[in-house]
Chain A
Amino acid sequence: MTAAISVSGVTKRFGAVQALAGVDLEVRQGEFFALLGPNGAGKTTLISILAGLTRADSGTARVLGHDVVTGYRSARRFLGVVPQELVFDPFFSVRETLAFQSGYFGISGNDAWIDELLTNLDLQAKADANMRSLSGGMKRRVLVAQALVHRPPVIILDEPTAGVDVELRQGLWRFMRRLNAEGHTIVLTTHYLEEAESLCSRVAMLKAGRIVALDSTERLLARFNELYLEVRLAGGALPETLAGRALTDGAAITRVRLSGHEEVEWILAELRRAGCRIESMALREPDLEEVFVQIMSGAAPEGRA
């Protein structure tokens, strides 16, 4: 099956800045894929190249097999991009904006789908309001609707939840999950790593224009399968038996490394025997944020699927 997105050997330099230093990436059809990285890692540049907004210095980028330069018409028809910047045309209402956008993609009489988009993005009440009168969160949702007017099989969302409140964010993800279930490929960038963790089956991490990690979310998390018991002791000192695996985190909280959940019982027993009084405790599993921090700091083993 043709890859939804296929990028090979893409480089891009802006003056002295090497925004992309040779990126290879393939996103399969039907995936919910996260593209993560700190600011300036090259995520938006990569998306811009896929969207045809920026031209790569070298390498090729394809959307469903269509080169974004030589086959731009098909590539763009198959791609819906939600840009990061909150942009809008102040001359038009929400409905006009969506109708014109449909027209640019060669679609006329798109009202039924536009209404469905407005409903799903909770914008019906604002359909005839001018774009200027919308709140930031609403403008963001119009951007999402604009990217979807032509029912693109591949959807890229560049930080779609920045500045969107919790309820709307959840609504947006419900809608994206539905589209994904219906077969749309979805690629998202976000700084909310818990979103990426819960939504995406695969993750690529970019750093300084290179992919430093590319794997399924599960395997990335498993690569750092360190488990900690965090305890706050109200009295008593950590027994000798645990000292070897303790990482003291500030004064109050002690982190004790576990090799598995079954060790919890034993550790608690050791603490009790040493006369420690536990004020609070929590079991911490690795999350994507931790994995991300470790990979970005270069501490983690690099690996590719």
Chain B
Amino acid sequence: MTGFVALFRKELVRFWKVAFQTVLAPVVTALLYLLVFSHVLEGNVRVYEGVGYTQFLVPGLVMMSVLQNAFANSSSSLIQSKVTGNLVFVLLAPLSYLEFFGAYVAGAMVRGIVVGAGVLAVTLPFVGLQFAHPLWILAFALAGSAILGALGVVAGIWADKFDQLAAFQNFVIVPLTFLSGVFYSIHSLPAFWQRASHFNPFFYMIDGFRYGFYGRSDTDPVTSFGVVALAFAVLATLSLLLLRTGYKLRQ
């Protein structure tokens, strides 16, 4: 257990030491999205009755920040340690693969949620947000960040070079988050894309998270949470299998 705590703490200290880049920068990015999109679309797009576009957008942006930063944390920590070779210090230690997985995912969750909370805190004074079901907000934030943290572990183990990881981020993570209903309700999409969105687990994370704010969503939050939990189970199993067999880490 102490091994897990040490590795978890190391993961926290690691991103916190460069918080300018790992926390502040993504908060600013999210705010820029908010400024641009709300400026262009506020008053033109109405998704739910009584909810302005900017109000609709904020939870989506918060969740997007949570997800992208959770992924960035575990994946970049692993690839950096692999490329520089210092992962050996963790591999030499008597840590179980469960502790290894837990520490990287927990570190990713904290980074994701800290960035998400940062975006939320900055927008709060300017946007009239509601908090209809705070527990759903928390549940989806935790589950979403855990999923992306686990995905980051898988990607970090798989990638041998930084550009492979960047490709994963640019061709998988970013499209899936952008096309998940951060900026729109999928009900505004053509039927085909609506159906397609239902195969995107990110859609359920965003939709369920937003339900926590306004009590309205495209899909029932219980269903969404079920999908999200299943996605986590699949990714956790995959990363634990990789870690147990020592794939790419212990030749």
Contact = CB atoms under 8 A, between A and B. Distances in A.
B92 A89 contact: no
A113 interface: no
Interface stretch (B2-10, B32-40, B52-60, B65-73): B2-10
Interface string A143-162: 00011000000000000000
A62 interface: no
B14 A91 contact: yes
A53 B92 CA distance: 7
Interface string B60-93: 0000000000000000000001001110111111
User: What interface size band does chain A fall in?
Assistant: 20 to 34
Interface in A69-125: 72-74, 76-77, 79, 81, 83, 85, 87-92, 96, 100-108
Contacts of B89: 87, 89, 100-101, 104, 146
Given A89-B81, A100-B6, A76 B13 contact: no
Interface majority SS on B: helix, strand, loop or mixed? helix
A101 B86 CA distance: 11
B84 A104 contact: no
Nearest to A99: B6
Contact of B84 (A89, A96, A102, A108): A89
Nearest to A89: B86
A238 to B, nearest CB: 56
A28 B234 CA distance: 46
Contacts of B44: none
Contact of A51 (B13, B84, B86, B92): B92
B95 interface: yes
Contact of A104 (B95, B246, B250, B251): B95
A105 B94 contact: yes
Contacts of B29: none
B6 A104 contact: yes
Task: Select the residue from B2, B85, B86 with max chain A CB neighbours within 10 A.
Answer: B86
A65 interface: no
B86 A88 contact: yes
Nearest to A45: B251
A79 B81 CA distance: 22
Given A76-B92, A91-B18, 12 more contacts: A14-B251, A48-B251, A53-B91, A55-B250, A55-B251, A83-B88, A87-B88, A91-B14, A100-B9, A101-B89, A105-B93, A108-B6
Interface of A: 14, 48, 51-55, 72-74, 76-77, 79, 81, 83, 85, 87-92, 96, 100-108, 146-147
6 contacts: A85-B88, A96-B13, A103-B7, A103-B10, A108-B2, A108-B6
